[in-house]
């Protein structure tokens, strides 16, 4: 099911602004005679990127139902429990169940929101800890360097909005944002232990990619790759889920490696001596239709076109 959304809303007067804000964000008091609000939201059930333009002064009181991370231009003071700040000075977060009080005043707010279950699943995959429950020990980034890293990732993600309808592009943006967010904000627990686990996951992923690339012409399986790099099949899947940019799982990566190798062979082959079926079989594709479909998905044309060019 494709739950992608890309919506834009604009309320041009105070009555529309008040009504729309209350519907979306809880208790709102617009403190101005003239007011307008505009929001552009892109995402799916797992996460969203939102841009809100506040042309007014208001008080927002909202109980969060997911994780929200925000930054703004000057003019958005906030309070969450005993902590307070301004999103233009440092990014901040609101956690599920917390009451947020905001005071926007003629400002531009950028928000990244994550579903609780999805963020938890992602964090467990990244850190290899199936018991991890995501909770943060503070509302602001752990350091100035990590703040800048998170802001740069958000700026990059905003440049990807035009291609977010594509599932693979959206998955790449999601993965980049969640990795930056979990590193930049103070996740409760032992950060040294989590970092060691994340490095181990990345090492497994890198080693498995290299091994698959080297053995793609053989009748290997994902189980073989897992044994070769010293992990279980489940561990290998977790490493790909946490780190995979080209593929979310090892099966996809193995198929992509074989298609890539077949592509190179087709480019080098003499069409008077070699057939597409021979190249496909050499790289483990016994079903011609499956090979043609995979090749088209990767290169946008039929393998015959490459061979006969």
Q: According to the model, what pLDDT value does residue 245 have?
A: 67
Residues 94 and 197 placed together within one structural domain of the fold? no
Backbone angle region of 115, left / alpha / beta, with phi > 0 → left and psi within -120 to 50 → alpha: beta
Let me know whether 205 and 163 are in one domain: no
- With cut-offs at 50, 70 and 90, classify the pLDDT of residue 166: confident
Q: What is the mean pLDDT of residues 188-196?
A: 75
Answer yes or no: is pLDDT of 182 > 50: yes
Final residue before a domain boundary, out of 174, 189, 204: 189
Q: Let me know whether 131 and 263 are in one domain.
A: no
Residues 106, 207: one domain? no
pLDDT of residue 226: 92
Domain boundary among 170, 189, 208: 189
Rounded to a whole number, what is the distance in angstroms from the first to the last CA of the chain?
A: 39
**Average of pLDDT values for 103-126?**
94
Extract the tokens encoding 14. 């105070």
DSSP collapsed to 3 states, the chain: CCCCEEEEEEECCHHHHHHHHHHHHCEEEECCCCCEEEEEEEECCCEEEEEEEEEEEEEEEEECCCEEEEEECCCEEEEECCEEEECCCCCEEECCCCEEEEEEEEEEEEEEEECHHHHHHHHHHHHCCCCCCCCECCCCCCCHHHHHHHHHHHHHHHHCHHHCCCHHHHHHHHHHHHHHHHHHCCECCCHHHHHHHHHHHHHHHHHHHHHHHHHCCCCCCHHHHHHHCCCCHHHHHHHHHHHCCCCCCHHHHHHHHHHHHHHHHHHHCCCCCCCHHHHHHHCCCCCHHHHHHHHHHHHCCCHHHHHHC
303 versus 28: the higher-pLDDT residue is 303
Of 137, 158, 189, the domain-final residue: 189
The string of pLDDT tens digits covering residues 226-236 is 999 998 888 88
Q: For residue 26, what pLDDT is reported?
A: 66
Handedness of CA 53, 56, 57, 59 (dihedral sign): negative
CATH number at residue 108: 2.60.120.10
Same domain (yes/no): 49, 160: yes
Q: Could you tell me if 86 and 69 lie in one domain?
A: yes
Assess contact for 104 and 71: CB atoms under 8 A: no
Same domain? 176 vs 208: no
- What whole-number percentage of the chain has pLDDT above 90? 52
- In which domain, by residue range, is 258 found? 190-309
* Whether residue 17 sits in one domain with residue 97: yes
Q: Is the pLDDT of residue 285 over 90?
A: no
Average pLDDT value for the chain: 88
> Given the structure tokens 């994550």, which residue do they identify?
114
Q: Are residues 106 and 36 in the same domain?
A: yes
pLDDT exceeds 60 at position 1: no
Residues 34 and 75 in one domain: yes
2-16, 82-96, 97-111, 177-191, range with the lowest pLDDT = 2-16
**What is the per-residue pLDDT across 38-66, written as a single tens digit (0 to 9) for each?**
889 999 999 999 999 988 888 888 889 99
104 vs 20, residue with greater confidence: 104
Residue tagged 């005679």 (tokens) = 33
pLDDT at 80 over 80: yes
* Total domains in the fold of the chain: 2
Split at pLDDT 50, 70, 90, the class of 127 is confident
The helix-helix angle for 191-215 and 116-127 (nearest 10°) equals: 70
Residues 21 and 104 in one domain: yes
Between 237 and 14, residue with greater pLDDT: 237
Q: What per-residue confidence (pLDDT) applies to 28?
A: 72
CATH number (domain holding residue 307): 1.10.10.60
Pair (155, 211) in one structural domain: no
Q: In this predicted structure, what is the pLDDT of residue 207?
A: 93
Over residues 129-152, mean pLDDT: 93
């Amino acid at each position: 099911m494709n739950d992608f959304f890309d919506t834009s809303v604009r309320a041009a007067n105070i009555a529309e602004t008040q009504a729309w804000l209350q519907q979306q964000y809880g208790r709102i008091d617009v403190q101005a005679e003239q007011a307008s609000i505009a929001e552009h939201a892109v995402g799916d059930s797992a996460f969203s990127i939102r841009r809100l333009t506040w042309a007014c002064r208001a008080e927002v009181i909202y109980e969060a139902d997911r994780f929200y991370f925000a930054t703004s231009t000057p003019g958005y003071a906030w309070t969450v429990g005993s902590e307070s700040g301004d999103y233009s000075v440092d990014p901040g977060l609101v956690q599920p169940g917390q009451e947020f009080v905001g005071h926007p005043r003629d400002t531009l707010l950028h928000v990244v929101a994550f579903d609780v279950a999805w963020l938890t699943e992602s964090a467990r995959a990244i850190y290899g800890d199936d018991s991890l429950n995501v909770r943060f020990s503070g509302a602001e980034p752990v350091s100035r360097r990590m703040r800048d890293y998170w802001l740069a990732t958000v700026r990059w993600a905003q440049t990807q909005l035009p291609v977010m309808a594509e599932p693979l592009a959206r998955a790449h943006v999601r993965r980049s944002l969640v990795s930056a967010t979990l590193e930049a904000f103070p996740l409760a627990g032992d950060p040294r232990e989590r970092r060691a686990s994340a490095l181990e996951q990345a090492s497994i992923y890198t080693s498995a990619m290299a091994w698959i690339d080297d053995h793609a012409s053989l009748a290997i399986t994902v189980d073989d790759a897992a044994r070769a790099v010293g992990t279980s099949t489940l561990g290998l899947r977790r490493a790909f889920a946490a780190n995979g940019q080209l593929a979310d799982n090892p099966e996809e990566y193995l198929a992509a490696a074989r298609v890539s190798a077949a592509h190179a062979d087709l480019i080098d082959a003499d069409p008077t001596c070699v057939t597409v079926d021979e190249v496909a079989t050499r790289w483990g594709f016994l079903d011609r239709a499956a090979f043609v479909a995979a090749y088209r998905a990767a290169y946008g044309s039929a393998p015959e076109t490459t061979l006969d060019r």
